Amino acid sequence: MNRFLAHTGARYPIVQAPMGWIARSQLASAVCEAGGLGVIETSSGETENCQAEILKMKTLTSAPFGVNLPIMFLKNDAILQFICESGVKFVTTSAGSPAKFIAPLKAAGIVVYHAVPTVDAALKCVEAGIDGLVVEGAEGGGFKNPEEVSTLVLLQAIRRVTDVPLVAAGGICDGKGMAAAFALGAEAVQMGTRFVSCAESPVHHNYKQAILDAKETGTYVLNKKASPCIRALKTERTAAIYEAGIMPPDTFKGILDLYFGGDMEAAVGLAGQTSGLIDEIKSARDIIEETVAEFHAIAGRMGAIAAAQNFG
């Protein structure tokens, strides 16, 4: 039995990452309707808007969905209390210790997974009573651990020390990546960059096109000696930050102009290394169905190799 599917009620073990301002009802409901698990963001800090998006989800889909709580960005307990009373059944926490959030969420009947970039963080979360982990490798976009550890290594390292369900995140955009993650012990995968660039994503076409145009070397890891450390698309602005070694305080000031206005120099366009594997804008349904089909095809081939006890 797949424990992630049991925890969430989703049809497929494919999660849409909770990108700030982007992961709202338009995108999340499309993912849910296609059988994946859409997740509503709250990292934007727009509490009332995020609450409205959670309520809107219930009018757009009857499928289960989740909400993300990025601990370091929460201004108060308002969104936590709202989620506990909203009927949401699955929450991911991130960006801080989930310890004080686990009890109230579980008391509300909510399953809680926490995003971790290291083995030490994973062990602390398990000790605190987390239900599962989102294992975030260095390949992914957005906020990163400056001590870069790939998903390939991190999944194995965390699986060695705990048996809780794992969601692999970072470097996955198709069935090949999903099959690799499952081989390493994951029970689900999370995709961010792939869904940012999908047809239902609310971002400007310029942002999607920048992802399509990027090579596998088309991102920088920025601000490694300070906080936050991020992975973003290569642009003139990010090149300057990379060379300087530190991000100016106003780096994210123009993020909405980038996301929704299409000005790729207004801020930093967060994206993962899978941007080098994405070359077409597809619907969320096509992405999910193609990923599942490719995953099963690969699993079938590997099963045949195992049955024959050879190497294909």
Q: What span, in angstroms and rounded, lies between the C-alpha atoms of 285 and 295?
A: 15
Tokens of 219: 């991102």
- pLDDT tens by residue, 286-301: 999 999 999 999 999 9
Q: Which pLDDT score is estimated for 45?
A: 86
Per-residue pLDDT reduced to its tens digit, 229-262: 999 999 999 999 999 999 999 999 999 999 999 9
Name the pTM for this structure.
Answer: 0.96
Pairing state between β 219-222 and 229-233: antiparallel
CATH number for region 3-202+284-308: 3.20.20.70
CA distance 128 to 164: 12
Q: Which residues on adjacent β-strands are paired with residue 233? A: 219
Put the strands of the sheet holding 229-233 in their side by side order: 142-144, 229-233, 219-222
Cα distances from 32 to residues 39, 58, 62, 98, 298, in angstroms, run 9, 11, 8, 25, 24
- Please report the pLDDT score of residue 77 as a whole number: 86
- CA distances in angstroms from 229 to 74, 105, 114, 185, 213, listed in the order given: 19, 28, 19, 27, 23
> Locate tokens 């920048």: which residue?
210
Residues 6 or more apart whose CB falls under 8 angstroms from that of 213 comprise none
Which residue bears the tokens 């049809």? Answer: 11
Residue-wise pLDDT tens digits, 19-55: 999 999 999 999 999 999 999 999 988 999 999 999 9
d(CA 48, CA 25): 14
| Cβ atoms of 10 and 37 closer than 8 Å | yes
Q: Where are the domains of the chain?
A: 3-202+284-308, 205-275
Among the listed residues 255, 79, 276, the one whose alpha carbon sits nearest the alpha carbon of residue 194: 276
- Is the CB of residue 233 less than 8 Å from the CB of residue 275? yes
Please report, in tens digits, the pLDDT of each residue of the chain (312 residues total): 999 999 999 999 999 999 999 999 999 999 999 999 999 999 988 999 999 999 999 999 999 999 999 988 887 888 999 999 999 999 999 988 888 899 999 999 999 999 999 999 999 999 999 999 999 999 999 999 889 999 999 999 999 999 999 999 999 999 999 999 999 999 999 999 999 999 999 999 999 999 999 999 999 999 998 889 999 999 999 999 999 999 999 999 999 999 999 999 999 999 999 999 999 999 999 999 999 999 999 999 999 998 998 887
Pairing, β 142-144 against β 166-169: unpaired
